[in-house]
Amino acid sequence: MSVSNPSKEPIRIGIDIGGTFTDVLLLDSTGKRWHVKVRSTPHDSSQGVINGLHKVLDLAHIQPEKVHYLLHGTTVATNTVLQRKGAKIGLITTKGFEDILHIGRQQRTSLYDLFVKPVAPLIPRKHIVGVEERILADGTVHLPLTEKQAKKATQRLSQNVEAIAICLLFAYQNSKHEKELLTEFRKHHPQLPVTISSSILPEYREYERMSTTVLNAYVAPVLAKYLQHLDSALISMGLQTPMLIMQSHGGVLQSQLAREQAVRLLFSGLAGGSLGGRYTSQIMNLPNVITFDMGGTSTDVSLITNGQVRETSEGHIDGLSCRVPMVDVETVGAGGGSIAWIDEGNILRVGPHSAGANPGPAAYGSGGQDPTVTDANLLLGRLNPEYFLGGDIPLHSKLAKSAIKQLSRQLSLSTEECAFGIIRVVNANMERAIRIVSIQRGYDPRDFALIAFGGAGPMHGWALAKSLGIPRVIVPLAPGLHSALGLLTTNLRSDQSQTVLVSTESLNIKQLQDTYKKLENQLRKLLDTQGVPKQSIMISRLADLRYRGQAYEITIQGSGGRISKRWLNTLVADFHRQHKQQYGYATTSAPVTIVNLRVVASGPMPSLKPAEAFQKQSKLPEPKMQRKVYYEEVGKFIETPIFERTSLGLGSKVNGPAIIEQVDSTTIVHPNTRAVVRLGGNLVLEAIT
Amino acid sequence: MSFEVLRNAFISVAEEMGAALVRTAYSPNIKERRDCSAAVFDIQGEMVSQAEHIPVHLGAMPESVKAALKLYPTGEWNEGDIVILNDPFEGGTHLPDITFISPVIYNDEVAGFVANRAHHADIGGSAPGSMPGAASEIFQEGLRIPPIKFVEEGNINQALWRLLLANVRTPIEREGDLQAQLASNTTGVTRYKAILKKYSPSVIFTFLADFHTYSRQRMLQQLQQIPQGNFIFTDYMDNDGISTIPVQLSVKVSTHHNHIIFDFTGSSPQTQGNINAPFAVTLSSSYYVLRCVTDPNIPVNAGCYSPLEVIAPQGSVLNPIPPAAVSAGNVETSQRIVDVLFGALEQVIPDRIPAASQGTMNNLTIGGLIPRTMQSFTFYETIGGGLGARPSAHGIDGIHSHMTNTANTPIEALETAYPLRVLRYHFRSKSGGSGQYHGGMGIRRDIEILSDTAVVSVQSERRHFAPWGLQGGNPGKRGKNLHFHAGKWKEIPGKVTFPAQKGDIISIRTPGGGGFGNTKKSITQEE
């Protein structure tokens, strides 16, 4: 990692791949931001990345070798799993338990669908081999693994596969047998990548650990190929800094290491938005916000409480368990490209099918026939046909109208009524997603601000906020690029965990100290290889606790000091407190179990300064034009002043009804609301009282 | 146009009630296995929306509200009232399932109801867990609560509260779960009122009427595609757990353009053992089947079920009268009702009906003393099996079918907590019935007892009558329970309680699903 010149800002580039567009954002040494948006290239996403990079470097007149940080959020790992295009892999497990992966938790994914498809497994049963060995719950070896057994298994598998996963019962307690098998492969088949469960996820619950291990083995070769391809393209462009890859929890990892820990990148593409939201919440000094990122194909909603992005370790991808920390995001298949349709009961529905980037909404004129949310917004006057993506994609109102007309006829509605119906329906879908991340997790949305971004977020944010009782909506400076900006606010981060499953009463402090120390040393080594100076490594210790007899845990942050009886008591007290917050009660007299110990190590990167100093604007902003826009509140079109976002300065006020347009997004200021430009250029929408 | 918006709003009310219940509940059964549900009702007590996590609660909620309204007509409900009930003969299913019902009062008038139900880990009776295998009367199964105003105008009936807690084995846990049920209804009432305020009662009442009509219309569209006629089918349960006589379940399905009848006349009289299914359970299974064979995306409300009539003679195994024991009706008989209905419907819509699935939940309970601490333990689990082959697809291996969908216990959790060791856990090869499409495989799970002694109890079905195949497909393999003792394996009955010793092994082998279509056309499996 290169060290930045302290008098200047380091030059950073964030690359965020979405379903429809790839965003590239460059921050130059003066703190100025340059952004480009290119269409995503789903067949080979590196193409879009390289296109965007060339474009942004040209735009900013920056030599590639001057770039200090290159940060990348990728959907390659996600798509590899969704499309089942990963490596051909083999699995070794304990004999008698070969079907754990296929049995899963014995649950079906849909209750009433008799034709429900089984979860498509990543490994055929014939590539799963059982070895005679057994370790017990306390880690003692009950049945030793013989060399003969190990040899037989490796020989049987090594023939037809490209990668190996190893997961034995209770290996989180004792990794001896897994390591013996690993050695066997290293000795005889050094070319085969091997993932062992005791190193990727030393946590209890055999199905979840096995699934996570297998996902890693399955994705790693594909991800490695993608990153290698990209890395060499970057080198030939003249970039000298190693690429940093976003992990599912929002910390980054050097691309070299990312290849071995592929499973930690499964939700890489989702983290940027939450980080962007956290950044805005810091600038605005609002510790509790809901991030609402509405793009072309989907909408991601997440929660930031006390300035922290909420994480979970209970992720799933396409029916497969993946238990590494990730940002707690709720995704709905609703975006600008979502298609409106009529169901068997003659009711208007929207999504989850999307017109995507190609052909896109009918208004794009690229052959799309289906009416979408974007077409509805255009028809209602909310979008400017000549200024969509700054005019890069001209919108055709006629095509949008004829697409929506088809629907409106079936529903016996006017075209405008139908268009507005589409907006209401898509808003209702998104409202449910917000309710899930807030109310269903025990939070009241009225105590939060909504940060609306993504190309379509600022158009829908206020209506949603109103319906949920959220008092304030924040629209960041560049809503369409906010996820890419989020990438620039990250730190290097690595995590490791270890199951201990012990009651806090019988816990040996020495054991606690030793386990934390072991995890910490592993992580320090990892950050060290990425060039983080020893003194700047930050360590946090966490633990997953629960009441005895329960089967779900809460992750509690431990205090910084020395690990002692007192340290433990504070941890347990914090657990009771958080249990009460999340579940409404605490039983301080009940015995508490520590399930997992966790360590997070991070190497801070230079923090991001708020956007370029904003001139205070004394005079009232001038609209650039007028057009008729439809508003629900009044049920009709109103002649509306249209403002250019870049013409607004710090303190500028715009009273609704008004539209504020910018290259990457459009904000609606509804009647009886006001938009004010605040710190960092953030637009704050509030009701006029 | 508000239709879709209001539909989402009412689904959210039920979901948020369910989430509040799961979130604030104390016991794992509600919190993790999610054996609970929540629903919203209109003024007449007709269901508007429901959030259920397992299908066996489907028909039970409407029956509970009906029973409560019978005792307390609309005029007798006040703000802050809550009616409690669990009586299987008055709106309940089995005693551990407790239901709370609250009125939604707006402008001093009842505007609707909300209700939630949760499975409590114990409600008293002769055995921990309140599902004693050998019960022959409901009185052995726990405390019976007919519909009673538990809360009146916000004041909890302390006498009833004390009586209830005095009759259960784990009162602290019960108190926590009952509090969660109170919180869930409060959430529902608040949200329902907010909707009434936002849109006005007249808009809402119009919507609710439209909503029922919408679901009814969509259901009728589906029924009109089914040819008319009468279709008869009979299947047998292995026994009632007390005698060895098979128990007959028979149905006549009559399909008409505007309605459909499931008539269970001809089924066995109620049994001495506990497999009797209260009428609410029979309804749940019937609703489940109707949803599965039509369009599961039709919003669930009273309108959706209005074209269905379910008939089960009083005093029969599918509509028992007091004092029948009922605790296994919910877990075992509910599954067989599904099979019988599918058997009849297969004669008219063969392209939509799968072969029989495992048809049981394989309930296993092991209790004893932990050697080092001498504390007592009770381990309970259900085990998945084969899903029947479908007309265009193989069955699914080792999964929970039809009326349940709860998660298994991880081996690494089980061995850490109990003096038990799992020796095998894998599919039973070739247990799925062969055919053009083969049935899913059952599971074999072998558990060794490490405590000095233990009491083992099994409640299972399809040990005698195999899950049938369809259209020439072969039946799935029957389930089998074995006990390894003193160096020898011995087969044990499907429903049994027996003492076991250290070193004994219990082997549960769950049934495979039936096959579909002629084996000659067999689609070879990829693996």
Conformational region of residue A216, where left means phi above 0, alpha means psi within -120 to 50, and beta covers everything else? alpha
What local confidence, expressed as pLDDT, does residue B139 receive?
Answer: 95
Q: Is pLDDT above 70 for B198? A: yes
Minimum-distance CB partner of A106 among B26, B384, B526: B384
Using the 3D structure, point to which of B216, B248, B273 is the last residue of a domain: B216
At B288-303, the pLDDT tens digits run 999 999 998 899 999 9
B352: chain A residues, CB-CB within 8 Å: 114
Residue A320 located in a structural domain: no
CB contact under 8 A, A432 and B398: no
Distance of CA B380 to the CA centre of its chain: 17
Residues A580 and A543 in one domain: yes
pLDDT in tens, B312-335: 999 999 999 999 999 999 999 999
User: What pLDDT score does B24 carry?
Assistant: 83
Rounded average pLDDT over A661-680: 94
**A2 confidence band (pLDDT: 50, 70, 90):** very low
Q: What residues form DSSP beta bridges with A330? A: A301
Peptide bond into A352 cis (omega under 30): yes
B224: contact with A, CB 8 A cutoff = no
Say if residue A57 is in the same domain as residue A135. Answer: no
Are A555 and A636 within one domain? no
Closest CA to B406 of B384, B379, B386: B384
How crowded is the C-beta side of B49, counted as CA atoms within 13 Å?
A: 20
Q: What is the CATH number of the domain that holds A501?
A: 3.30.1490
- Are B293 and A114 within 8 A, CB to CB? yes
Report yes or no on B117 lying in a domain: yes
What lies within 8 Å, CB to CB, of A37 at 6+ separation is A21, A22, A23, A24, A52, A389, A392, A480, A481, A664
A206 and A232 assigned to the same domain: no
**Percentage of chain B lying above the pLDDT 70 cut:** 98
Is the separation of the CB atoms in B459 and B331 below 8 Å? yes
Q: State residue A613's pLDDT score.
A: 53
3-state SS class at A19: coil
Quick check: B148 contacting A, CB < 8 Å?
no
Tally the domains of chain A. 4
The answer to whether the beta carbons of residues A593 and A546 sit under 8 Å apart is yes
Give the angle subtended at the CA of A370 by the CAs of A367 and A376, to the nearest 5°: 110
What percentage of chain B exceeds 90 in pLDDT? Answer: 76
CATH code, A40: 3.30.420.40
β-pair partners for A27: A12, A33
What length is written for chain A? 689
Contact A97 B221 (CB under 8 A): no
Q: Is residue B252, in this structure, part of any structural domain at all?
A: no
Give the residue among A115, A240, A92, A307 at the shortest CA–CA distance from A179: A92
- Whether residues A128 and A217 fall in one domain: yes
Reading the block at residue B242, the tokens are: 């007390």
- The predicted-structure confidence for A198-241, as pLDDT tens digits, reads as follows 999 999 999 999 999 999 999 999 999 999 999 999 999 999 88
pLDDT above 50: residue A7: no
When mean pLDDT is compared across A267-276, A354-363, A655-664, B97-106, the lowest value belongs to: A354-363
B408 touching A (Cβ < 8 Å): yes
Same domain, A596 and A640: no
What average pLDDT does this structure show over A461-473?
Answer: 95
Cβ-defined contact of A429 to B8 (cutoff 8 Å): yes
Give the sign of the dihedral formed by CA B328, CA B329, CA B334, CA B339. Answer: positive
Please name the residue that has the structure tokens 């208004």.
Answer: A363
Q: Is the domain of A111 the same as that of A231?
A: no
C-alpha A441/C-alpha A302 separation (Å) is 11
Q: Which of A129-143, A602-616, B245-259, B498-512 has the least mean pLDDT? A: A602-616
* A436 in any annotated domain: no
Residue A413 lies in a domain: no
Two structure tokens written together for B73: 């007509």
Say whether the peptide bond before residue B467 is cis (omega within 30 degrees of 0): no
Residue B523 pLDDT grade (very low, low, confident, very high; cuts 50, 70, 90): low
ipTM of the complex: 0.92
Whether the predicted pLDDT of B57 surpasses 90: no
> Within a domain: residue A5?
no
Q: Residue A4 pLDDT more than 80?
A: no
Q: Within 10 Å of residue A173's Cβ, how many Cβ atoms? A: 22
H/E stretch holding B198:
helix B171-199
Say whether pLDDT at B19 is over 60.
yes
pLDDT of A150 above 60 = yes
- Using the 3D structure, point to which of A232, A265, A298 is the last residue of a domain: A265
Q: Which residues on chain A are in Cβ contact (under 8 Å) with B291?
A: 112
Question: Does residue A184 share a domain with residue A137?
Answer: yes
For residues A192 and A72, state if they share a domain: no
Contact A116 B396 (CB under 8 A): yes
pLDDT in the model for residue A5: 42
Share of chain A above pLDDT 70, in %: 98
pLDDT surpassing 90 at residue A512: yes
Query: Nearest Cβ partner of A113 from B215, B296, B410?
Result: B296
Q: CA nearest A484: which of A295, A681, A686?
A: A295
Q: Answer yes or no: do B36 and B182 share one domain.
A: yes
Which residues form the domain of B433? 354-527
Give me the residue from A98, A549, A584 closest to B183, CB to CB: A584
The band of B522, judged by pLDDT with boundaries at 50, 70 and 90, is: low
A97/B411 Cβ within 8 A: yes
Please indicate whether, in this complex, the C-beta atoms of B413 and A204 are within 8 angstroms of each other: yes
CA distance A262 to A253: 11
Give yes or no for B264 touching A (CB within 8 A). no
Whether residue B291 is contained in a domain is answered as no
The one-letter amino acid at A485: L
Asked if A86 and A218 sit in the same domain, the reply is: yes
Domain extent, residue A550, equals 492-603
Domain end, chosen from A569, A603, A637, is at: A603
Asked whether A504 and A566 are in contact (CB, 8 A), the reply is no
State residue A618's pLDDT score: 62
Beta strands A128-131 and A194-196 are: unpaired
Judging contacts by C-beta atoms under 8 Å, the chain A residues touching residue B121 are none
Cβ distance B184 to B100 under 8 Å?
A: yes
Among A370-379, B452-461, B505-514, the range scoring the smallest mean pLDDT is B452-461
Does residue A470 form part of some domain?
A: no
Contact B425 A97 (CB under 8 A): yes
Whether B349 is in a domain gets the answer no
* B281 phi/psi in degrees, rounded to 5: -70, -45
The answer to whether A36 and A66 have CB atoms below 8 angstroms apart is no
Exposure string for B40-73, b = 16+ CB within 10 A, e = fewer: bbbbebbbbbbbbbbbbbbbbbbbbbbbbbeebe
- Whether residue B98 lies inside any domain: the answer is yes
Nearest-10 crossing angle of helices A415-437, A457-468: 70
pLDDT mean across residues, chain B:
93
**Residue B330 in domain:** no
pLDDT, mean of residues B506-526: 84
Categorize the per-residue pLDDT at B169 as very low, low, confident or very high, splitting at 50, 70 and 90.
confident
Please report residues of A whose CB lies closer than 8 A to that of B437: none
Count of A-B CB contacts under 8 Å = 169
Q: Residue length, chain B?
A: 527
B224 found inside a domain: no
Does residue A430 lie within any of the structural domains?
no
- Between A114, A136, A584, which is nearest B292 by CB? A114
Contact A440 B31 (CB under 8 A): no
Split into its structural domains, chain B has a count of 2
Same structural domain for residues A639 and A524?
no
Note whether A202 and A236 are same-domain residues. no
Give pLDDT, residue B317: 98
Mean pLDDT of B364-368: 88
**pLDDT for B1:** 55
- Quick check: is B285 in a domain? no
Label residues B183-207 b or e (16+ Cβ within 10 Å = b).
bbbbbbbebbeebbeebebeebeeb
